[in-house]
């Protein structure tokens, strides 16, 4: 408890940095989502003009880059990676929207959203998601405490900490709470790959 308290107290001086980072993240990911939407839409339009079957898969190199998924053992039993249900937990509505856009770019489902720790634990138990994207700093309990509650309820579900805060000792605390990976918000492009890796059987935590 003392160690956890020490790194939580160190979050306070980072409020301004976190706000600025979220704004930059929102702008960057917003542009990424817009470019992806326009590009994918253009390919679909050309595809529909040249093919009679609307259900045929897109085979362009860009389509393969975004849609390619690895096969292999999964730690989610019989769950198909193309049918993932993801719970998004973040107190920022902007971040939740951005994450939702990224998740849906892989045709995964956002099964629910939560803006604080206790709400996320309740929705985790009710919705039974396949993956949880979890913020660290939230109004009530933090992401580490929420992860402990979720892991106690179902340790099989991969939990990914998606945070802008770089705090000494957080890796150890996250590992003990059952979190499988930490993805900085400044490296959002790694998020989808982390989800795929964990679902495709990445049993060892991606926490260093």
pLDDT digits (tens, 9 = 90+) for 9-63: 555 555 455 565 666 666 666 655 555 544 444 434 334 443 443 333 322 232 3
CA–CA gap between residue 134 and residue 136 (Å, rounded): 7
2-199 fold: Rossmann fold (3.40.50)
Render pLDDT for 28-42 as a digit per residue (tens, 0 to 9). Answer: 666 555 555 444 444
How far from 111 is each of 128, 134, 164, 190, 206, CA to CA, in Å? 9, 14, 24, 21, 24
- Per-domain boundaries in the chain: 2-199
79 pLDDT higher than 50: yes
Helix (H) or strand (E) holding 56: none
| Alpha-carbon span 194 to 191, nearest angstrom | 5
What Cα–Cα distance (Å) separates residue 2 from each residue in 9, 97, 170, 207?
11, 35, 13, 22
Residues with Cβ within 8 Å of 1's Cβ and at least 6 positions away in sequence, in order, are none
Residues forming beta bridges with residue 206, ordered by sequence position: 181
> Which strand (E) or helix (H) includes residue 136?
none
pTM for the predicted model, two decimal places: 0.63
């Amino acid at each position: 408890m003392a160690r956890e308290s020490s790194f939580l107290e160190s979050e306070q001086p980072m409020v301004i940095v976190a706000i600025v980072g979220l704004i930059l993240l929102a702008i960057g990911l917003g542009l990424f989502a817009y470019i992806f939407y326009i590009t994918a839409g253009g390919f679909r339009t050309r595809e529909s003009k040249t093919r009679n079957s609307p259900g045929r898969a897109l085979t362009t190199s860009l389509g393969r880059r975004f849609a390619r998924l690895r096969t292999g053992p999964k730690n989610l039993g019989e769950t198909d990676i193309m049918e993932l249900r993801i719970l998004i937990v973040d107190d920022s509505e902007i971040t939740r929207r951005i994450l939702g856009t990224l998740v849906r770019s892989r045709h995964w489902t956002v099964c629910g959203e939560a803006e604080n720790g206790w709400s996320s634990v309740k929705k985790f138990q009710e919705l039974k998601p396949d993956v949880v994207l979890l913020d660290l700093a939230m109004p009530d309990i933090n992401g580490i405490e929420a992860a402990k509650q979720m892991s106690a309820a179902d340790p099989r579900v991969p939990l990914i900490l998606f945070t802008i805060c770089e705090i000494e000792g957080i890796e150890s605390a996250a590992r003990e709470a059952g979190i499988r990976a930490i993805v900085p918000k400044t490296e959002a492009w790694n998020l989808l790959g982390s989800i795929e890796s964990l679902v495709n059987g990445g049993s060892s935590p991606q926490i260093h």
